[in-house]
Chain A
Amino acid sequence: MNMPLYRQMLAINLKMFMNYAVGSAFYILLMFWIYPGIAKNSGSLNSLIDAMPEGVGKAFGLENGFGSIGAFISGEYYGLLYLLILSIFCILVSTQLIAKLVDQGSMAYLLSAPTTRTKVALTQAAVLLSGLVLICAVTTLAGFAGYAWFIGDLADFDGTGFVLLNAGALLLFFCIGGISYLISACCNDEKRALTLSGVITIGFFSLNLIGKISGQLSWMRHISVFSLFDPGEIVGKTANWPLSVAVLAGLGAAAFAAGMIIFRKRSLPL
């Protein structure tokens, strides 16, 4: 780690990190705010979902219905929108932290200072992870605040389930962020890095979605890292939590390490 670099990168990016965090927190508060209205009609909504083909409901995380706030949030926010927000965050930020600096040439200044490439790469990874942790932490806190504010006593809230849900999302994006970071460390061209990590992330996302909708294509899910984070199963306590955690953490750590090694070993067009 290089502290002056870490501080400078945070100074430049903190505002953007906060925008993502506040946006996500605001949205989750909104979800808690509208839930009581939906809960009153949950019976009719549930019968609507039952009327839909089974795959569609599963794909969008509706299989737990609208009966509990946990099921509602996991399906409506953690099943789709939150994943998109964090995907975009990982793709954009990881590209900015390495490929953009190489493409522009400002990486020359970082490497002309008395530090090593490994330290620079490690610092940039730390900046990416700091942003990710910040967004996830603010979102989690906003969830608890939202429950206390709009729903009722926190004692009735399945806090453990909600924390596990957020920890799962964080780990999933530790893995996605690692893959985007690896691509960013390999690319000399900012646009190419952006396109590649975008295609891979959205590709994984789509494979998971298609696999859920169609029973015949369910094998597709298993090549997507998104299948390791199933909000419905986590809240419904049917997820294989230790396995998912181990695979996501292992894949993410391997991708970050590979990115650092490749960045250390390759010629840079500066």
Chain B
Amino acid sequence: MLSVEHVTKIFPNGRGIRDVTFSVRRGEVFGFLGPNGAGKSTTIRHIMGFLKPDQGSVKVCGHDTWKEQGRFQKYIGYLPGEIAFIEGMTGKAFLDFMAGMQGGVDSAWRDELIRRLQFDVRTPIRKMSKGMKQKVGIVAAFMHRPEVIILDEPTSGLDPLMQKVFIELVLEEKARGTTFLMSSHNFPEIERTCDRAAIIKDGVIIAVKDIHELQSMQRKLFEVTFESEQEVNDFMKCGLKIDSREGSRVRVAVQGDVDRFIRETARFHVRNIDVFTQNLEDIFMNYYDREGQTP
């Protein structure tokens, strides 16, 4: 559906992307992860045909996105990372205009998208909040039912409720066979929607992983409060990795093997459990550190 082949682009300041290669299958949701400035947006700009690659090519449904402008766009829905609409329009006028550019859309589906994302389309764009612009952008990316949807940081600016609505939308369209490429910082969103994800750093893809593998890389901290300090002493003998201890409260670091943690903990009386999920940046850091140790 979408294949990025050996794309290299070096900007005059020396930054850029080098030999980026990956492909996304039909009906797959592909995550694109990496810290700021790693090259996610640069890669997406090549996919959209905005930048001319120094080397390599991008193909969407068999069409080269640099050489065959005008052919590939009808298969694509796009949500830019930094949304900028044409000035002096309302949300409705903009969506009508984009529908015209797309050659017509199913208005019932468009109205349903607007209803589910809950915003007033009559608001002038210059008066919209960031979240509201994001919603207009999401409608514009989905409304013509494209085969491939490219989303650059789709949930930035959305409140948690709307993030949930958005994830539902992605899963529904995925079930219909739509292919997604989605860059993100938000791990739960990637976790719930993606099948595979690529990790990019300093312009180089360092891994393309199954999402389950990524989950197993994620370290979780469980803060367990036991009934007594005696139980804590016994618990600490079990060999689980203990992060810290404070009276009858213990922080346990768990990476992957959640099952063993549950079994060990269940032998004691537990008052409370809290979980701290490691954020995506920390996972990257871990991953990069390991890469550095075994060159």
A interface residue numbers (CB < 8 A to B):
2, 4-5, 7-8, 12, 101, 104-106, 108-117, 119, 264-270
CB distance from B61 to the nearest CB of A (A): 12
Contacts of A270 in B (CB 8 A): 45, 48, 50, 80
- List 7 additional contacts besides A104-B84, A116-B69; criterion CB under 8 Å: A4-B97, A12-B89, A111-B50, A111-B73, A264-B69, A267-B50, A270-B80
B295 contacts the other chain (CB 8 A): no
Residues in chain A near residue B76, CB distance under 8 A? 112
Return A49 CB to nearest CB of chain B, in Å. 47
Give the complex CA separation of A8 and B89 in angstroms: 10
In whole angstroms, what is the CA distance A12 to B89 when docked? 8
Residue contact B78 to A108, C-beta cutoff 8 Å = yes
Q: In the complex, what's the smallest C-beta–C-beta distance from B217 to chain A, in angstroms?
A: 33
B88 within 8 A of A: yes
Of the candidates B69, B89, B140, the one having the most CB atoms from chain A within 10 angstroms of its own CB is: B69
Q: Say yes or no: B70 contacts A12, CB within 8 Å.
A: no
Q: Is the CB of B140 within 8 A of A109?
A: yes
* In the complex, chain A residues whose CB is within 8 Å of the CB of B83: 105
Q: Is the CB of B86 within 8 A of A106?
A: yes
CB–CB B100/A4 < 8 A: yes
Contacts of A5 in B (CB 8 A): 101
Contact present for A4 and B101 (CB under 8 Å):
yes
Q: Is the CB of B50 within 8 A of A114?
A: no
Q: Flag if B70 contacts A268 (CB, 8 Å).
A: no
Do A110 and B70 touch across chains, with their CB atoms under 8 A apart? no
| B51/A267 in contact, CB under 8 A | yes
Chain A contacts of B50 at CB under 8 A?
Answer: 108, 111, 267-270
Residues of chain A with a CB closer than 8 A to B48's CB: 108, 111-112, 270
- Alpha-carbon separation in the docked complex, A117 to B67 (Å): 11
Q: Nearest 10 pairs between A and B by C-beta?
A: A4-B100, A105-B84, A113-B101, A116-B70, A114-B74, A112-B78, A114-B73, A267-B51, A106-B84, A270-B50
B contact residues around A264 at 8 Å (CB): 69
Check A109–B70 contact: CB distance below 8 A.
Answer: no
Q: Are A119 and B86 in contact (CB under 8 A)?
A: no
Give which listed residue, B69, B88, B101, contacts A2 with CB less than 8 A: B101
Bound-complex Cα distance A132 to B181 (A): 43
Q: Does B52 contact A (CB under 8 A)?
A: yes
Q: What's the Cα separation between A6 and B76 when bound, in Å? A: 22
Name which residue of chain A comes closest to B71, CB basis. A114
Interface string of B59-91 (1 = CB under 8 A from A): 000000000011101101010101111111100
Report A-chain residues with C-beta under 8 Å of the C-beta of B71. Answer: 114
Roughly how many angstroms separate A111 CA and B70 CA in the complex, as a whole number?
9
A268 with B51: CB separation less than 8 A: yes
Q: Do residues A105 and B80 form an inter-chain contact, with CB atoms below 8 A?
A: yes
Minimum CB–CB distance from B71 to chain A (whole Å) comes to 8
- Whether B103 is near chain A, meaning CB under 8 Å from some CB there, is yes
> Taking the complex as formed, is B128 at the interface, i.e. its CB lies under 8 A from any CB of chain A?
no
Interface centre among B52, B76, B101, B103 (most CB of A within 10 A): B101
Option from B45, B85, B88, B100 in Cβ contact (under 8 Å) with A109? B85
CA distance A115 to B71 in the complex (A): 8
Q: What is the CB-to-nearest-CB distance from A210 to chain B, in angstroms, rounded to a whole number? A: 38
Chain A min CB distance to B137 (Å): 9
Q: How far is the CA of A115 from the CA of B98 in the complex (A)?
A: 12
Question: Once bound together, how far apart are the Cα atoms of A112 and B48, in whole Å?
Answer: 7
B49 in contact (CB, < 8 A): yes
Asked whether B102 is an interface residue with its Cβ less than 8 Å from the other chain, the reply is yes
Which residue of B has the minimal Cβ distance to A7? B100
Complex Cα distance, B84 from A108, in Å, reads 8
Q: Are B89 and A113 in contact (CB under 8 A)?
A: no
Report how far A270 CA is from B102 CA in the complex, Å: 20
Alpha-carbon separation in the docked complex, A8 to B97 (Å) = 7
A124 to chain B, nearest CB (A): 12
Query: With a CB–CB cut-off of 8 A, which chain B residues contact A101?
Result: 86
Given A12-B88, A12-B89, A113-B102: A108 in contact with B51 (beta carbons within 8 A)? no
Q: Is the CB of A114 within 8 A of B49?
A: no
B84 and A114: CB pair below 8 A? no
Residues of B with C-beta under 8 A to A7: 100
16 contacts between A and B (CB under 8 A): A4-B101, A7-B100, A101-B86, A104-B84, A105-B82, A108-B78, A109-B84, A111-B48, A111-B50, A111-B69, A113-B102, A114-B70, A114-B73, A114-B102, A269-B50, A270-B45
The answer, among A105, A106, A115, for a CB contact under 8 Å with B73, is: A115
Given the complex, which residues of B lie within 8 Å of A117, measured CB to CB?
A: 69
Report B105 CB to chain A, min CB distance, Å: 11
Q: Which residues of A contact B88 (CB under 8 A)?
A: 12
Bound-complex Cα distance A106 to B88 (A): 12
* Chain B residue at minimal CB-CB distance from A117: B69
A12 and chain B: residue at smallest CB distance: B88
Q: B84 to chain A: which residues have CB within 8 Å?
A: 104-106, 108-109
Alpha-carbon distance A8/B101, docked complex (angstroms): 10
The CA of A7 and the CA of B70, in the complex, are separated in Å by 20
Decide if B82 touches A12 in the complex (CB within 8 Å).
no
Which A residues lie within 8 Å of B69 (CB)? 111, 116-117, 264
CB distance from A152 to the nearest CB of B (A): 44
Which A residues are CB-close (under 8 A) to B80? 105, 108-109, 270
